[in-house]
Amino acid sequence: MGSRRDMIRKFMLEEEEEDDEIFFVLVPTLYACLYEEKRPVHTSSLPGAKKVKEILEGHEIWSKVEFRMEPEIFRSISDFLQRERLLEGTPFLSVDEQFGMFMYLISHNATNQDLQKQFQHSAETVHRKLKKIFNLIPTLVQRFVRVPSSIHPHPKIMSNPRYWPYF
């Protein structure tokens, strides 16, 4: 029995020595990573709110390119969302900027990372605000989209012989 206990003790001491060696390698590496100098990511001269304002107040073509709509339509939708309390601004993110991020996303097939770069916000902020707008879509569909009656086809389809055999 004594020899078995001696073997176990010897094994445990060897394990502790190996653990100490790993510890001496890992600690300096972790220390260097923790205190590495961080560089800012969002360094653009135009933060998101100023970018949206510049696009909306600039030439109409830029609004069509960035948001795929005229500035007047953009503002009326943004005002509607605000007036109906469907979307609320925060001290750091206006309703115009939130709606601008959404329109940029769907008009350019942009990624979260693209939006971070364009609007100078963190991934978590971009995700949260876009999720809020995507959750509004069913409410907006119920309010604005009317399904056509399936009983009578559209007059253009009925009058065109090319379409008529299919309806």
Sign, CA dihedral 128-130-134-140, equals: positive
Distance CA 106, CA 90 (A): 22
The token pair that represents 111 in the structure block: 């990624």
R_g (Cα) of the chain, nearest Å: 30
How far is residue 157 from each of residues 46, 71, 164, measured CA to CA in Å?
49, 34, 6
Stretches where the chain sits below pLDDT 50 are none
pLDDT digit string (tens) for 69-105?
999 999 999 999 999 999 999 998 999 999 999 999 9
- For position 153, what pLDDT does the model report? 76
- Report CA torsion sign: 64, 65, 68, 74: negative
User: Helix, strand or coil for residue 64?
Assistant: helix
